[in-house]
Structure 1
Amino acid sequence: MRYIVIGAGAVGGTIGARLHQGGHDVLLVARGAHYEALKRDGLRLITPESTETLDIPAADGPVPAREDDVLILATKSQDTVSALAGWPSDLPVACAQNGVANERMVLRRFDRVYGICVWLPAQHLEPGVVAAYGHPYSGLLHVGRYPQGVDDLAERIAGDLGKHGLVGLTQTDVMRWKHGKLLSNLGNAVEALVGHAPGREKVVEAARAEARALLDRAGITYSTPEEEASLRGNQVDVRHIEGIVRGGGSSWQSLARGSGSIEADYLNGEIVLLGRLHGVPTPVNEVLRREANTFAQEKRPPGSMPLETLQALIDGRCAA
């Protein structure tokens, strides 16, 4: 079986590297300077324990498919549809992405869709280079068939992921875990906007409280932080990597790279959408969604908004 990792950035690059190290056939799909670096020099994977350069085949778009191909989609959600253009719709697709909208989008075109809930602290800021901070494992990945269940392929994907440097688990209710991860990811926009400003936790918790109330109202179940901590234990502890500063999560990295887009529409925006469907205002997540998109479009540096400014914008929206 060949794993084609579409979006070989922080998460996709780490997954592809670990599958390759586990003896699996892997193809990395990337764009621009990152693709050129992968093709020319290979993937440089840096972890708390080691630095390795891995000679993994790379492509910048669809290649002739094989019957045993499995697509692992690791792009940001806003790139999901375009990233899958040109790939045969009879291939299975596993969505190793934040948010909960990707599987549904993919299912419109692909018959076999799998969700992967990703706990994998990593960073990709330099072409050809991925830093994975998890120790002793780089990440823990839940795999399940979408919308629910576990089949033979889900079992095999989880088993293959767990062969080297990752923990792979199967979950019959993988979207429940992904909704729990969505709640934690609502803080991504806060970090991207104000960095690690003291007191930012108040805004993060307000966004999550708004979201939990809506998920409960909609009857959508989600994993809790306590469940997640119990399952993860000390398997994916974040460790310092000598010579590399860990700036922030995926949204922070999007701004740092000046990519021009950010995932907020599918994180905070998922809560905004749910609120509109149920007639419930979501002022905190709406401000975070709007401001994060503005930062990305205007290519502002991460962490450059004062916390007081963000709080004033939220207070104004709440009072409107």
Structure 2
Amino acid sequence: MRFIIYGVGAIGGTFAASLATAGHDVVGIARGEMLAAIRNNGGLTFRTPTDAQLVSFPVVGAPAEIAFQPDDVILLTMKGQHTAPALEELRAADVTTEAVVCAQNGVNNERLALRLFPTVYAMTVMLPADYVTPGEVICYGTPKRGLIDLGRYPHGLDENVAAIAAAFDSAGFAAFPLQQVMRSKYGKLRDNLGNVVEAALGHGSRSGPLMDAIQAEAERVYAAAGIDWVAVGNADPRRKGLMEMGAVAGITRTGGSSIQSLKRGTGTIETDYLNGEIVLLGRLHGVPTPLNAGLVAIGHELVARGAKPGSMSEAELRTRLGT
């Protein structure tokens, strides 16, 4: 089994470095400054609470550069706004029945993948990691680097699930095969609704009455849509003593994926596929979603004006959301 990590960023970089260090066959697909830095440096600099090392593994710039094999496991680790073109690149590279694992935030990626490929898996990733500097990824999870929920999409278990879970266990993660894995992904989506709040207000602003209201809006939508979900956030009892936030020498945590996008100036943000998913479901099922709709608009404005993380005050954000 070979792991193709499509998107070597915070999550993909942690996966690639961990799996490669554990002796698994890994190929990364990266782009831009990250691709150049890995090639120029002879590997990816990977920092954890216990050490820092330069991890070498093959890296290419596009799927077309890979001769895919039937037992390959393709892990999608790009953000949701980049999934559709990535899947088209895989199809153009003659990917057919290989396992495609959506190790991403949101719940839209799996449906897009299943339209093109028959063997699709959903993976919920609870993994505190940063990618801000090209060629470097920092993972804060300890003693396990992250928690992984995994199952076939839309539901079910099979031999691939067992093999992938075993590989991740060997690489320092705690993997949990789940028959109904999308329950976990909807729980993670509920937590990710704070990503754009953190991007607007700065790291550490993902709790309080405003977040409670944003998540309550999502819960009303879930109820109307008949969506079953399970909490996977900080209150998840699996985290206690298994995967907690550790300190990495000389490093201050940047924050979640959206705050990292603003800090790197990527020109895009994932809000359409996080808060925007709640807005879509609300429209489909007749549930008003003014808070999440407002956050979608704010996310796009932050990107359009090249805003830095924490550029809004809470008073300004509340005014914009009408709270």
TM range (shorter): over 0.9
Aligned to 1:65, which of 63, 68, 83? 68
1:46 aligns with 2:53: no
1:243 aligns with 2:267: no
CA deviation profile, 1:193-222 (whole Å, cap 9, x unmatched): 111477962221111000001101111000
1:17 alignment partner in structure 2: 17
TM-score by length of 1: 0.95
Task: Report if the CA contact (8 A) 1:260-1:298 is conserved.
Answer: no
CA distance in 2, matches of 1:33, 1:227: 33
TM-score by length of 2: 0.94
Task: Report if the CA contact (8 A) 1:6-1:28 is conserved.
Answer: yes
CA deviation profile, 1:96-138 (whole Å, cap 9, x unmatched): 0001111001111011000000000000001110000001111
Change (3 A) 1:225 1:161: closer
State the Cα distance separating 1:240 from its structure 2 match.
1.6
2:226 alignment partner in structure 1: 219
SS in 2 for 1:261: coil
Aligned to 1:194, which of 196, 201, 211? 201
CA distance in 1, matches of 2:209, 2:295: 13
Task: Report if the CA contact (8 A) 1:136-1:235 is conserved.
Answer: yes
CA distance in 2, matches of 1:307, 1:228: 25
Task: Report if the CA contact (8 A) 2:224-2:287 is conserved.
Answer: no
Change (3 A) 1:233 1:200: closer
Structure 2 counterpart of 1:222, one-letter code: W
RMSD: 1.6
State the Cα distance separating 1:146 from its structure 2 match.
0.1
CA deviation profile, 1:42-75 (whole Å, cap 9, x unmatched): 0111001100101111011012212221100000
State the Cα distance separating 1:232 from its structure 2 match.
2.6
SS in 2 for 1:14: helix
1:285 alignment partner in structure 2: 292
Change (3 A) 1:197 1:64: closer
Task: Report if the CA contact (8 A) 1:27-1:56 is conserved.
Answer: yes
Task: Report if the CA contact (8 A) 1:73-1:93 is conserved.
Answer: yes
* Number of equivalences: 316
State the identity %. 43
Structure 2 counterpart of 1:244, one-letter code: I
Task: Report if the CA contact (8 A) 2:19-2:167 is conserved.
Answer: yes
